[in-house]
Amino acid sequence: MLKNLQLLNYRNYVDEKIDFDSKTNVLTGTNGQGKTNILEAVYFLSMLRSFRTASPREIRGIGSDFFHVSAFLNTSRGYDKLLEVDYAETRRLRIDSSPVFKASEFIGSFKAVAFLPSDLMIVTEGAALRRRFVNMFLCSYDKIYLADLNDYANALKSRNALLKNQNPDTDALTAFERILAEKAVAITAKRAAVLKKISEEMARLFREIKGGNALFNIAYTPHPSTENIEAHAAKLAADRAKDAARRSTSLGPHLDDCQFLLNDKPLRAFGSTGQCRLAALCLKLAALKLLGDIDGGGAGTVALVDDVAGELDSETQDAFFGIVSQTEQSFFTFTATPSDAYFADAKILEVKNGSISNAAGAAI
Ligand SMILES: Nc1ncnc2c1ncn2[C@@H]1O[C@H](COP(=O)(O)OP(=O)(O)O)[C@@H](O)[C@H]1O
Ligand SMILES: [Mg+2]
C-alpha cells in the first residue's frame, strides 16, 4: 500500500507531498485541476511509463527540465520500500536510496491497473492498442517478458536498418533473424497463455455482472502462427526482398492482434457501445484479478479508476466496486464527492490547481 506520494515538477504539481493512509482514496475537483495527473504519477511509479504519453518529457512541469516522483510503499510482506524516479536528461531509479539500473528490477514493486475512459478504444480501435495492453500487462505479470520484448524490438530495428542497404550483410541479417525468431516464439507463447487466462476471467466476469448465458472469449491470432524457431527464421530469410521493398518486417509479433468475441461475433464490429464498454471494464478487472493472484488475495495491487465508475449502470457499478475492493489499495477520481456507501470510509482529497488538501468533514 502506498503511504504517500511526492511530486516535483510533475505536470501541474510543483512541489507536493500527499499522505495516503487509507485503502480507498478519492480525488475530487473540477476539470483540469490535476486529478488524473495523480493517477498517472502512481502508475508511473509502478510501470515507469505513463498511460497518457509515450514521452516522459511531456510530464515535466512547464519551464522545468526534470521531474521527480517518489512514494513510500508498505509492502504486504511486512517491510517498507522507498521508490524514487528522477527524470532529467536521463532516468535515475532508486529503491531505498540505492540506485537501480534495470527497469525490470524497478517495475512491479506494486502492480497498478488503470481504468480509463480511453479503455473503450482497446476494444473498438486497431490492433496497436491491444498489443500495447498485452505488453504492459505482461511486463508486470512476467519479469522476463520485458527483456524478451526489448531484445525483439532491438533486433527488429537492426534488421530493418540492414535491409535499407543495397547489399545488406547476409551474415548479420541471419543473426538478427535468429534472435527475432527465438524471441517471437517466446513472446507469442506468453501472449497466448496470458490471453487464455484473461479470456476465461473475462467470460466469468461477464456472467457475474450480466448473468444469463453471454459467451465471451478472446481469439488470439498470433503472427506467426508457428512455435518453430527454425521455420520462423526461414520465413524471415525468404521475405528479405519483399521486406526491403516495404521497408519493414512483415512477419512477427509486432503485428499481432486479438479479437474480443461476444457470442462468437467480434465486439469491435458488432458490439453496442455498452457491450464494448463492459468488455473494456472486464478486461481491466481480469488484469487486476490475475495480478492479485500472483501473491494471492490481491496483494500488491493498486486500482486507479479515472472518471469511470460514474458511467456504469447500478448492477455493473456494484460488481465493479465489489471486485475493486479486493485490491490492496484504490484511487478514484470524481468531479464531486461520491455519495455511494462504498466510499463511506474513503479518504477524500480535494484537488485544486495542482495542490491537494484533505476535504473538510471527510472521514480521514
Ligand atoms: N507538463 C505539464 N506542465 C504543467 N501543467 C501541465 C502539464 N501537463 C498537463 N498540465 C496541466 O494539468 C492540468 C490537467 O490535469 P488533469 O490531471 O488532467 O486534470 P483533471 O483530471 O483534474 O481534469 C491542466 O491544467 C494542464 O494544463
Ligand atoms: Mg481527469
Q: How far apart are CA 96 and CA 87, in angstroms?
A: 17
Mean pLDDT of 263-287: 95
Residue whose entry in the numeric block shows the C-alpha cell 535515475? 92
Residues 84 and 44: beta-carbon distance below 8 Å: no
Provide the pLDDT for residue 23.
Answer: 95
Residues in CB range of 66: below 8 A, 6 or more apart:
8, 9, 60, 86, 87, 88
Number of CB atoms found within 10 A of residue 207's CB: 14
Average pLDDT estimate for 71-89: 91
The DSSP secondary structure of 27-53, one letter per residue, reads EE-STTSSHHHHHHHHHHHHHSS-SS-
CB 9 near ligand 1, within 6 Å: no
Give pTM, 2 decimals: 0.94
For residue 193, the tally of other CB atoms under 10 A from its CB is 14
Domain segments of the chain as ranges: 1-110+328-364
Does the beta carbon of 36 lie inside 6 Å of ligand 1? yes
Nearest CA to ligand 1 atom 15: 34
Closest CA to 259 of 291, 219, 308: 219
Residues with CB under 5 A from ligand 2 (ion): 35-36
Residue 4 main-chain phi, psi, to 5 deg: -160, 180
Residue with cell 524457431: 229
Q: Which three cell numbers stand for residue 199?
A: 479470456
Q: Which residues contact 131 (CB under 8 A, 6 or more apart)?
A: 254, 256, 257
Q: Give the per-residue pLDDT at 362.
A: 45
CA of 17 to the centre of ligand 2 (A): 19
DSSP letters for 108-151: TSSEEEEE-GGGHHHHHS-HHHHHHHHHHHHHHH-TTHHHHHHH
CA terminus-to-terminus distance, the chain: 16
How far away, in angstroms, is 204 Cα from ligand 1 center?
Answer: 37
Could you say which ligand is closest to the alpha carbon of residue 306? 2
Query: Which set of grid coordinates corresponds to residue 275?
Result: 457491450
Q: Grid coordinates standing for 125?
A: 480501435
Quickly count: other Cβ atoms within 10 Å of residue 245's Cβ. 10
In ligand 1, which atom is closest to the CA atom of 353? 25
Grid cell listed for 347: 479518504
Provide the pLDDT confidence category of residue 225 given band limits of 50, 70 and 90.
Answer: low
Where does 1-110+328-364 sit in CATH, by number? 3.40.50.300
| Residue 12 C-beta-side C-alpha neighbours within 13 Å | 14
Q: Are strands 4-10 and 67-74 parallel, antiparallel or unpaired?
A: antiparallel
Would you state the torsion angle of the CA atoms of residues 85, 59, 120, 203, taken in this order, to the nearest 10 degrees? Answer: 0
Q: What is the mean pLDDT of residues 144-170?
A: 96
Q: What is the three-class DSSP state of 335?
A: coil
Tell me how far apart the alpha carbons of residues 297 and 190 are, in angstroms, rounded to a whole number.
23
Better-predicted residue by pLDDT, 69 or 21: 69
Work out the pLDDT band at 121, boundaries 50, 70, 90: very high
Q: Which atom of ligand 1 is nearest to the CA of 306?
A: 21
The answer to whether the CB of 37 falls within 8 A of the CB of 73 is no
Q: Per residue in 306-363, pLDDT tens? A: 998 777 888 899 889 988 999 999 999 999 999 889 999 999 999 999 999 987 544 4
